[in-house]
């Protein structure tokens, strides 16, 4: 079978259910999948028949489910309530249910960026270790900075905005209140192992803003984690070009994933050639 197969569910009624049962997309779960049905719960027997839950092993069959937001004004087909599909698990996919990693955001984390970086590390199996140096561009209020500091990394947080007090007080954290466009290589540590970029700008603008820094950073970089914002859906069509631009910085191993804690954005992990 192909690496991923997707069936589209549309709202159906009891009167046309017998006809709908013969459609390919109805074979996985014989149930009404209208918005009202989702609110009341869905019969999961067909899903459970696929196999046990828990982290997926390579080669196992995994069910995929995407629920359409009820209030999405940009939805082309608002009558679609959900999409259901299957894929064979491989090493390029997240093994945990939901496509992420079991991550609990601590009460003192100032933003959900804490979970975003933890999910990125787990998904891409990034070897971030104590004693390494990370730089985050667009760091305030410091969710990701706190996560890395608690892993024992030294973190330089670049942002004109303030870091939360508990982040700034964490060992190994340095706040550099400076615009990225005016940031020079000499402002940063001589060796930078990891670069995080989470700026609230269109990704085309972000890559333009950081282009002057990459030649001086890439020689020591183990990898970079970009959060690419999607201010409108047209940016999705631009992703292949953005990936090529990131690869041209000297980070040719580029992977994209929408992680559970991502909102209208995607995670991009880029690493040097292996």
Q: Active-site positions? A: 229
Q: Return the SS3 of 99.
A: helix
Q: Torsions phi, psi of 96, nearest 5? A: -80, 150
What is the phi/psi pair of residue 46, to 5°?
A: -65, -35
Contact 175, 168 (CB under 8 A): yes
H/E stretch holding 271 reads strand 265-271
Token pair for 191: 């060796």
Instruction: Give the closest residue to 7 by CA, choosing from 24, 32, 29.
Output: 24
Dist CA 47 CA 45 (whole Å): 5
**Peptide bond just before 168 cis, omega within 30 deg:** no
What is 161-220 written as a DSSP string?
A: SPPPHHHHTSTTEEEE---GGG--GGGS-S---EEEE--SS-HHHHHHHHTTTHHHHGGG
Cβ atoms < 10 Å from Cβ of 69: 9
């Amino acid at each position: 079978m192909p690496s991923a197969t997707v069936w589209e569910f549309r709202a159906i009624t009891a009167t046309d259910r017998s006809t709908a049962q013969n459609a390919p997309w109805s074979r996985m779960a014989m149930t009404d999948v209208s918005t009202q049905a989702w609110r009341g719960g869905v019969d999961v027997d067909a899903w459970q028949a696929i196999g046990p839950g828990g982290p997926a092993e390579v080669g196992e069959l995994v069910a995929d489910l995407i629920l359409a937001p009820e209030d999405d004004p940009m939805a082309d087909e608002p009558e679609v309530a959900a999409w259901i599909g299957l894929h064979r698990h491989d090493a390029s996919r997240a093994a945990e249910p939901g496509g992420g990693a079991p991550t609990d955001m601590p009460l003192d984390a100032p933003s959900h960026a804490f979970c975003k970086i933890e999910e990125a590390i787990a998904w891409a199996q990034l070897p971030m270790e104590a004693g390494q140096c990370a730089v985050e561009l667009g760091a305030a209020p410091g969710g990701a900075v706190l996560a890395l500091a608690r892993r024992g990394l030294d973190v330089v947080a670049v942002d004109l905005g303030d870091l939360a007090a508990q982040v700034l007080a964490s060992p190994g954290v340095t706040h550099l209140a400076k615009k990225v466009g005016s940031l020079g290589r000499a402002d940063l540590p001589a060796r930078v192992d990891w670069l995080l970029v989470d700026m609230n700008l269109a990704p085309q603008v972000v890559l333009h803003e950081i282009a002057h820094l990459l030649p001086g950073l890439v020689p020591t970089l183990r990898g970079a984690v970009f959060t690419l914002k999607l201010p409108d859906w047209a940016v999705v069509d631009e992703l292949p070009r953005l990936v090529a631009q990131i690869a041209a910085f000297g980070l040719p191993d580029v992977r994209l994933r929408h992680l559970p804690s991502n909102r209208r954005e995607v995670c991009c992990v880029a690493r040097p050639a292996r």
